Structure 1
């Protein structure tokens, strides 16, 4: 390709006529999609306003308003707000994170928009320093479905359509705002555990060249204290693929650079109470369907004399690193039942990797797994990790799961097994930790019986059902609803694949060639969170508060406390009922629940005065 051709293509990229926006869809002429660009843009900007008349009627100048974290605000649309609101008020516990969302929009361009946060000063004279308030720009990513869509069952959606969805959170100093666009800003107020109860007030000055607006914040800090995430009871299991981080950043897997990146990458998971460390005893267990293949953390080596030996160096490094970050309650090792029963090992004699298929229950399977489990058990006990380790089996034909579980238990009844899939009564007493697909669950009574036996039970969503879910096009409140449902049903927590199974360009494009956008990851490169992840975390905090308040309420005979607890319990009973997941109903359910938690917290605090 000569220089003239390159210049022509670069020039052409400025004039590609994308003519659809968030609420307007159209087929993309692939021949006109620019392959080259003059520079890398941090997000796509092909959308156009669906209501140009509304923008033309908009008053010139900078508009700023608080919105709600339960709604998405689109780049080319004037925010759907009843009025421009310059004040935000919220209530929370010591140790809790409160989220808000502000939106800036303008009919003409704005330069150097920046947010300047003051300290929050309490009515008791205490100060909540502004270093406890985090600001993140909300970036737009590509989705293969429009907002609120009922995604086709586990389908990637039409390849010729794309939609911009606000999701990725990114720290910022300032930003420019093109004319006829909006930009949400995510505001997180982290209440220190040592903060004195009371009401705190402060401001956020929003400034741009020639413009300035003052936003007002008021935070009511209640008497109760939320424990640090490492002490939460919620079992959060988000499957990780640390190789994705190495490959995205083009660093050597398990090098010092890779490990430094992983520590930052895992922080949001630890900060949300992440429970399980995902590890792999087999190479590429999930049908080679990831952009970045999950490698083996334990090298299986057949020696020249036909014996087996095992190299745990990567496994040990990752487990230790995750524990240092604060993820230290459980380790899952995947999997005795990989895709097509395919196992890879290194043949020491030839130096080649060999692939073999060992069906669960076969003589080859039993022989290998008894040898491996004996060695693995000794290694885990030497590390002090055996009691917190689970052998993980993912959804498979029932007969395979039963056969593998029996081989494991025959080796030692002390092994713990976790399984994610549909409810099967035959598996109930074989599994120490059972995670059910939403909609294919046992009765609430069965979950209670499992708990009485010392078993744990969780549930999950994946590329189905369409609702509730954590897609980039899912209404944000569904992420919070998920944990209210877990509490109401009696579950111990929630699981999802995956934490970080990124596609080719995750910073700008959440689509996958196989599944709905956002299905395969919840956080972005750089350890950056998302609206979806923050809403999921809100629900986890609600789950913790419910447990804590129930315990506190049991220790008082106050009638007002009892009445407030009864209202909360009655509200929880509405979650296991059949839902159509109308967005307004989901928002009302979680907001009502939050209000009831606030009321019960206040009632309990009043009894201690």
Structure 2
């Protein structure tokens, strides 16, 4: 993405050890080694932000439901209007419903654990406790404090380090040190064949010396959410499979690596992931990651000067992704690697050779016509050609147009996807166009693209500061992103990246160049987190909006027509949004969901049900 393709050389800059200061009441770290230092860090935590608040808390374990739209910090008494012992939620069959449970205490509590019980309908039907998942929310280190609106590409101007809750971790039991908080994420996957109605149950929070019981009340509506593989939202997270091998210190493309990749990709597939990221060039983004993206297609220059291509890794990765459930599109990056640098192997010596071929050059045209002919043949044999896109990231317009010209001159009807700012001259040349938020076309141009069968999405990266998916971003921004997609008329959302991990992502989300969490949304071991789940919630909202609008447009019921009109009117509040007040956008999303719930019930009462 723009400003992300930055050449940096030799070694990664070492951060100085900083003394933490309190910022807006967040938990800071007094001494944090650089993210690239490979030794056991010793974290020293500051004193609580407001000792008076902790001193006012009664002894023992405190438990309450909080909001999934905000973050709760490790040494702050939770900011709650009032403690809530009941979680009420409405959803569809097949939907995942999320809650955030907070456990805190002024004194140390041992052996905290949760016991989930079945959720029961009044008629005896049950949503079994096996459908309820609980995860401890772990804290990771950020280079920005919570909710800032001045994050930028490049090094952070903030010199402190901040703990942000994000990473999920399964648990049996845990300890709560005195004057600390532990968020717990609760997810209920409603079975697609559940009976509509009200389900009630409870969760017991136990410790060595206490027991708290909280209530769950779910209203399941008589509408069915399709499976993630059937969602229409075009969710595109760029993947780097080498990073999984690197982090786990195993041989790339070994059987052990592929087993890990299956679990790793399943998380993306279950969130509606549509695009498989593949690489036809080695290190397309200028060695800008802790583990660079390697080529999946080996280029071999034979002794007679002819080219040969090895698709082994490419095929293995595409097949792994498809097995996980990612089936809609394959993107092959890229005709324009940074610096126009290309690598191939000499058959005679076994050495790698690096060449610079500008897209206007005869060498570029000659090679890419040869390669595209071979690639087309291979894709046709595999049955993948129709779903394959040639990917181009943002480059100078002269180079971009030259590369596209080479593709268009090839006999095959290649599809091209491009991520970058809106440029009128690219519009009709691209089958899939992804704009950087804030550098977009207008809605009429998006509609025109849709009318001719082209797709359009948008993305955020290390900019803009908001909306975004940094570890310090208010979680509601992740959900808001897909409301914006639906309101603007986009087909989906793209993000670099799914998994471009820094050195120690499970504990330290910072990168030497970019805002914490910018480069990844999921964690090692196929672990999700708050940011990823909030993105998923928004994608579910996108699907429900699409389905409800389609059903309601066929209804003659006056109430339905009026509610649909209200929903359409409400969607307009998402388009001009630029201020990004956390509370306002949360209210906007909630109002939209209230209208969807009303429409869902009214349509179901008229026997207009999506199944």
* Common topology (TM > 0.5): yes
Q: Does 1:49 align with 2:57?
A: no
Partners of 1:34 and 1:556 in 2: how far apart?
57
Q: Does 1:124 align with 2:123?
A: yes
8 Å CA contact 2:482–2:539 kept in 1: the answer is: yes
8 Å CA contact 1:282–1:343 kept in 2: the answer is: yes
- Aligned residue number for residue 154 of structure 1: 153
8 Å CA contact 1:122–1:201 kept in 2: the answer is: yes
1:116-515 pair list within 5 angstroms:
116-158=115-157, 160-412=159-411, 414-515=413-514
Deviation at 1:595, TM superposition (A): 1.0
SS of 1:192's equivalent in the other structure is coil
Partners of 2:528 and 2:107 in 1: how far apart?
30
8 Å CA contact 2:201–2:217 kept in 1: the answer is: yes
Partners of 2:56 and 2:502 in 1: how far apart?
40
Structure 1 stretches (4+) deviating beyond 2 angstroms? 16-41, 44-48
8 Å CA contact 1:366–1:407 kept in 2: the answer is: yes
SS of 1:508's equivalent in the other structure is coil
8 Å CA contact 1:47–1:164 kept in 2: the answer is: no
- Aligned residue number for residue 575 of structure 1: 574
1:65-84 pair list within 5 angstroms:
65-84=64-83
8 Å CA contact 1:20–1:46 kept in 2: the answer is: no
Q: Give deviations 1:413-447, integer Å, cap 9, x for gaps.
A: 51000000000000011100000000000010000
SS of 2:242's equivalent in the other structure is helix
- Aligned residue number for residue 23 of structure 1: 24
Deviation at 1:82, TM superposition (A): 1.4
Partners of 2:136 and 2:536 in 1: how far apart?
18
* TM-aligned CA distance change 1:67 to 1:31, over 3 Å: closer
Deviation at 1:583, TM superposition (A): 0.7
SS of 1:236's equivalent in the other structure is strand
Q: Give deviations 1:318-362, integer Å, cap 9, x for gaps.
A: 000000000010000000000000000001112110000000121
Per the normalisation by structure 1, the TM-score is: 0.94
* TM-aligned CA distance change 1:490 to 1:27, over 3 Å: closer
SS of 1:429's equivalent in the other structure is helix
Deviation at 1:37, TM superposition (A): 11
SS of 2:218's equivalent in the other structure is strand
Structure 1 unaligned residues grouped into runs of 5+ = 1-15
8 Å CA contact 2:137–2:184 kept in 1: the answer is: yes
Per the normalisation by structure 2, the TM-score is: 0.94
8 Å CA contact 2:32–2:41 kept in 1: the answer is: no
* TM-aligned CA distance change 1:87 to 1:322, over 3 Å: same
Deviation at 1:530, TM superposition (A): 1.1
- Aligned residue number for residue 593 of structure 2: 594
8 Å CA contact 1:420–1:434 kept in 2: the answer is: yes
* TM-aligned CA distance change 1:276 to 1:45, over 3 Å: farther
8 Å CA contact 1:301–1:310 kept in 2: the answer is: yes
Partners of 2:50 and 2:197 in 1: how far apart?
44
Q: Give deviations 1:202-228, integer Å, cap 9, x for gaps.
A: 000000010110010000000000000
Give the total of aligned pairs.
Answer: 592
Deviation at 1:54, TM superposition (A): 0.9
8 Å CA contact 1:18–1:46 kept in 2: the answer is: no
Deviation at 1:24, TM superposition (A): 5.9
SS of 1:541's equivalent in the other structure is helix
Structure 2 unaligned residues grouped into runs of 5+ = 1-16
Q: Give deviations 1:82-127, integer Å, cap 9, x for gaps.
A: 1111000000000000000000000000111001000000122210
Partners of 1:145 and 1:523 in 2: how far apart?
19
8 Å CA contact 1:124–1:198 kept in 2: the answer is: no
Partners of 2:313 and 2:391 in 1: how far apart?
18
